[in-house]
Structure 1
Amino acid sequence: MLQPVPFPIRKECPPGACICERERLLDDPQGDTRILRLTSEEEKRLVARIDSISTYADLQHIEERMREQLGIDLRISPGMHEVRTVRGFNIQIVERPGLCRKTRQSIPAAIRRCLDKNPDIAYAILNAHDLLRDD
């Protein structure tokens, strides 16, 4: 039996189209349902907000807000090999129940677009991982 939630939630994906395990999350009384607050409309707003990021501090702030409000743990790091373009960054969202396949693709894509538009953010990420030192 599905638990009632006190806020609007994301519509279920078509059968077989996603592996979000939305129903299992709703059935679990101890489940963290924050991710279900990310409706399709809210996801569009989040992606637009990520696209408009202009500083590394802004990116860190958005990461923290996604963690607090939605339980999304985002990890951005340089790839194992050299980073010549933004494709060289590993941008991952930690798997968790309720996280839609579309969301797992749209947020990293928005971050890549942001890094393309703002190379200073890419350099700040590299610097945060000690790849570019200010010595």
Structure 2
Amino acid sequence: MNATIPIRKECPPGACDCGREALLRDPQGDVRILKLTKDEEKRLVARLEALSSLDDLKAMEQRMHAQLGIVLHIAPSPNEVRTVRGIAIKLQEQPGLCRKTRQAIPAAIRRSLESRPEIAYAILDAHDLFGGL
């Protein structure tokens, strides 16, 4: 018996530019991202909002990459960092990654950084912004 893995339903026409259909047609396409259903996305966002440390964030980055193929880039912006908005959180462009998901994941991480500023400080320290102070 082959158990089918649920995949994300298509977005309404004109609402998204994820390229889901083209990804499904491509035999070499990485379809792991389509395993992120709306329910799973809610669980992922809740988990990202509950981060406890920089190590926890790094582990989630690795897990998202291994399971879904999502590549996350987190670094201080080149301008001055006064708030968590000064930390750049970007997802690498990927076919099949829904527009709403591209917005929800960084927003969840920002909420986590706002509730636990020590994670934001650890990110800044990891990029040597404190310069050994």
TM above 0.5: yes
Give the 5 Å matches for 1:1-135: 6-134=4-132
Q: Percent identity?
A: 64
- Aligned-residue Cα RMSD (Å) equals 1.2
Deviation digits for residues 45-95 of structure 1 (CA, Å, limit 9, x no counterpart): 000000111111000000000000000000011011111100101100001
Give the TM-score, by structure 2 length.
Answer: 0.95
- Distance across 2 between alignment mates of 1:84 and 1:112: 14
Q: Secondary structure at the match of 1:75?
A: strand
The Cα shift of 1:134 comes to: 3.4
Aligned-partner residue type, residue 32 of structure 1: D
Superposed CA deviations along residues 2-59 of structure 1, whole A, max 9, x for unmatched, are xxx9411000000010000000000000000000000000000000000111111000
Return the letter of the residue paired with 2:106: P
Structure 1 runs of 4+ aligned residues shifted over 2 Å read none
Secondary structure of the equivalent of 2:43?
helix
Separation of aligned partners in 2, 1:128 and 1:18: 35
- Counterparts of 1:32 and 1:12 in 2: how far apart (Å)? 16
Aligned counterparts of 2:93 and 2:36: Cα–Cα separation in 1:
15
Please give the TM-score of this superposition, normalised by the length of structure 1.
0.94
Return 5+ residue gaps in structure 2 as ranges. Answer: none
2:45 counterpart SS class = helix
